[in-house]
Amino acid sequence: MKKILVAAILAMATLVSPAYADNVGNWTKVDVKVPLHKFDEDTSLRLRVTPEFAFTDDAGGLKQTVFRAGPNLKVNKWFNFTLNGVSSTVLGKQDLRPEVQPEFTVREGLLKVNDRNRLSYRALDNAKDDRWQYANELKASVDLPSTQYNVFGSHEWFLDFQKEKMTQHRLTAGVGRQLNDNWLMEAGYLYRTSLTAPEWTKDHMLFLCFSNK
């Protein structure tokens, strides 16, 4: 009986152990839009700069940096388009890529829904590993009446055309606060799964973002 109990405990420990192997950390992002030219009340040209930093325990500190910069055309209240140059570094391995980013925004009462699309061509260390990638983020936020706060949630998925499969998912939920007429701060929880052959890795992260209109 003792042997059976020991075997059962060891089996349960084996099943539970992957949860402890998950990574924890934080993800910080700043989304800055600098006005360049205003065509009319709704249409304007801006320079958009978006640095992002991810720190995780498995990396012992900084694991990933992403830097985006390029012209952003705000066509109207529901559509804007960004042409990015992107530098992404993960554990010292860098890839550079051009990226197109159309975004659609719908607002109805207190509800705001944003659909962000990113299509890029990733140039990696080895030319044979270069590939197209598509990412889509669907985000919904609800303003809390008579306050400067909102609650939000989003899901982003990544499709690798070379591998012909999804390689990453990001789920985010939290609270936002309007700091002034121009700046918004968002904080919450980000859960990321990434396909790192042959397994999926999981990151549990504190999320912090500052963005302006």
pLDDT of residue 6: 41
The DSSP bridge partners found for residue 83 are 100
Which residue bears the tokens 């990574």? 23
Pick the CATH number of 25-212 from 3.40.50, 2.30.29, 2.40.160, 2.40.128: 2.40.160
Of 29-43, 85-99, 185-199, which has the strongest mean pLDDT? Answer: 29-43
> Taking the domains of the chain in order of start, what are their residue ranges?
25-212
Each residue of 39-80: pLDDT tens digit? Answer: 999 999 999 999 999 999 989 999 999 999 999 999 999 999
Q: pLDDT class for 196, splitting at 50, 70, 90?
A: confident
The DSSP bridge partners found for residue 171 are 155, 191
Q: pLDDT class for 21, splitting at 50, 70, 90?
A: low
* Contact in structure between 130 and 113 (CB atoms under 8 Å): no
Each residue of 169-181: pLDDT tens digit? Answer: 999 999 999 999 9
Single pTM value for the model: 0.85
Distance CA 176, CA 183 (A): 11
Peptide bond into 198 cis (omega under 30): yes
Q: Which of 150, 193, 143 is nearest to 174 (CA)?
A: 150
